[in-house]
Amino acid sequence: MQVVRLVKTSDLQQVSELIKKTGIGMTTMPKNRKEVQERIAWSVNSANKKSANPNKDTYLFVLENEKKIIGISAIYTSVSKEKPSVFFKLKKIKLSSDTYKFEKTSDILQLHLLHKPYSELGTIFIDPSSRGRGRGSLLSFARLQLIAAHKSRFDKKILVEIRGWKDKNNKSYFWESFSKAFFNLDFFSIDRLSYIDNHFITESVPKFPFIVELLPKRVQKVLAKPHPNAMPALSMLAKQGFKTNGLVDILDGGPCMEVLATKIPIVKSSFKVKVEVKRSLNFSNYGFITNYSLNNFRVVRENYNLIKNNTIEISQKTAKALQISTGDKVRINIESI
């Protein structure tokens, strides 16, 4: 059975091996084993802390299939709390002339700082040999289930950065023909540094606006355009209320999406029920089932029966995956079966 859970310290070896398969494009997860260990410890500490308020926390999830870790994803809280997050922002301005009696609206791109803290969905990856069968949505939406079960630990606004467009050779036209001019390092060095500390970006990128139609044509074509591989994720997020907000990644020109946590359908529709574990069942319902533990948080997407008095019946196999028993409370979402 497939289950998404929060990472444990004993997962270090498997997580390290999985991250090696991400290639150079994922800079939010370090490749160095010691740094991976630190990131896991950060997640474990976040899940064990007594304070229920967001405070620069990381929650790292793993997708496990028959005890093998085949995917990872994460939520980061209080992003921009200590230092503002840096983006470009797409805006419209009106240009006019009283002398020649004309008005024109133009798109501009300008450096933009986010000061108000938000929580960010990020670091999602599934082993290429294990993709499909709904695993991407399970791993992605498990993060939203954690928000539903423990709302106070997350910021009001949830943001996600969508990977920007690149060609089949992993070449970013936005970087090559625009952003590269502001820096003296290669793309992946800059991307890695920006994750650690992005202050240098505000020092390097001009503050004045760039008129989009004056940018190279191939930059205009890929501006705020998602990578083809990111389209399924973008579609899933859009169905959960995420909308583009005009923010654009400084380096690859990818779009950003945001939503208020209270407006996410899967968060709004989940509710608490009691569990009864049964040996055999004819199921009438299907959906996410989430236990109420934080440091042992677990999510499955399985069959169950919703019966009277806000109770569900689940199989022994599902109970084992969630590490729960009869009488425990869980959160569920009802989907069509």
- pLDDT, tens digit (0-9, with 9 covering 90-100), for 62-114: 999 999 999 999 999 999 998 899 999 999 999 888 888 889 999 999 999 99
User: Which DSSP category does 169 fall into?
Assistant: T
Alpha helices in 84-178 (DSSP H): 135-149, 173-177
How long is the chain?
Answer: 337
pLDDT tens column, 276-318: 999 877 888 999 999 999 999 999 999 999 987 799 999 999 9
Q: Please tell me whether the overall predicted TM-score, pTM, comes out greater than 0.85 for this model.
A: yes
Domain ranges of the chain: 1-79+117-155, 82-115+168-268, 269-332
| Sign of the four-CA dihedral 36, 42, 44, 46 | negative
Tell me, what's the pLDDT at 337? 46
Distance between CA atoms of residues 76 and 56, nearest Å? 7
**Range name among 45-49, 129-133, 194-198, 256-260 with the lowest pLDDT average:** 194-198
Q: 1-79+117-155, what's its fold?
A: Aminopeptidase (3.40.630)
Strand (E) positions, the chain? Answer: 2-6, 58-65, 68-79, 85-97, 102-114, 118-126, 157-161, 210-211, 243-248, 255-260, 271-278, 285-291, 298-307, 311-315, 329-332
pLDDT at 48: 96
Pairing between β-strand 255-260 and β-strand 210-211 as defined by DSSP bridges: unpaired
Q: Is the pLDDT confidence value at 121 over 50?
A: yes
Q: In the prediction, which pLDDT does 29 show? A: 74
Note the CATH number of domain 269-332. Answer: 2.40.40.20
Lowest mean pLDDT among 2-6, 115-119, 181-185, 206-210: 181-185
Which one-letter DSSP state was computed for residue 164?
B
pLDDT tens-digit profile of 236-254?
999 999 999 999 999 999 9
